[in-house]
Structure 1
Amino acid sequence: MSKVVPDPPITTQTPDIEPAPPDALLRDREAVKRALDYYLDPPSQYVEKPRRPSTMFLVAPNTDTESLLAQACESLASASVMASDFATNLIGPQRNTVLAIQQIVMLAELAVNRALDNVDPRV
């Protein structure tokens, strides 16, 4: 079976493109300028303001490093114990996930302990 129309059809004439009216070109230019200004030079209302942390829970600024590290170590030890206890009630992939979290907490606790030793070496 032969096709009568070639694929794609051969055209010898170019379609007539009517020129856009000048006001449409002007609107397009204005839209492009607005878009570029918005993305490349945003107005001040869209610029992010510096983040101010909440003062609801604030560590006293005059607390020494050793006390902060000791508190962090105790918190991490508590989190490790809680994760371990929670993992005993789980089975399968959930248990593995909680034990992995517990291991990460334990590694953080070891790092804080080492930092505490560096701050106050007890020889």
Structure 2
Amino acid sequence: MFKVTPNPPETDAIPESDPTSPYSAPNSRKLHEAAERALDHYLKPHLPSERKPSTMFIVAPDMETESLLAHACESMASASIMLSDFAGLLETPYRNTLLGIQQVVMLGELAVNRALDNLEPPTRN
């Protein structure tokens, strides 16, 4: 048996009595636009603006790479020792966390040392 389906209602003219229409009141279009802006704010990704690093603490631009790496290596070695000493004062779960951080710092120190080894010494005339 074939069931007759009525044509869908016209979308151009929204009846004033439709309680689900967002455009039934004069200000409802403004509310709809505000809701769209709110959704866009929370759901659309924002493109980050160009990052401008702080100039409060700045490394001199004319520093040699070897000097920078040597300083980084010394800083990481100091951080590794401080973390190791501090881990000795803590109980087991916190000690393990701190020792894990200390190991990551130590691996960074090894990588910086390798970078220093790979640098060619400057030729002196």
* Partners of 1:99 and 1:85 in 2: CA distance: 10
CA contact (8 A) 2:77 2:106 kept: yes
Per-residue deviation, 1:25: 3.8
- The two structures have a TM-score, normalised by structure 2, of 0.64
Match of 2:12 in 1: none
Question: Does 2:51 correspond to 1:51?
Answer: yes
Number of equivalent positions:
100
Structure having greater relative contact order (Cα 8 Å, sep ≥ 6): 1
Match runs of 1:1-123 below 5 Å: 18-20=17-19, 24-37=24-37, 40=40, 49-120=49-120
Match of 1:3 in 2: none
* Partners of 1:23 and 1:108 in 2: CA distance: 61
Structure 2: gaps spanning 5 or more residues? 1-16
Judged with a 3 Å threshold, the aligned counterparts in structure 2 of structure 1 residues 36 and 19 are, in CA distance, closer, same or farther, namely: closer
* Partners of 2:59 and 2:72 in 1: CA distance: 12
Classify the secondary structure of the residue corresponding to 1:115: helix
* Partners of 2:73 and 2:22 in 1: CA distance: 72
- The two structures have a TM-score, normalised by structure 1, of 0.65
Structure ranking higher in helix proportion: 1
Give % identity. Answer: 55
Structure 1: gaps spanning 5 or more residues? 1-17
Judged with a 3 Å threshold, the aligned counterparts in structure 2 of structure 1 residues 30 and 54 are, in CA distance, closer, same or farther, namely: same
**Aligned residues: CA RMSD:** 3.0
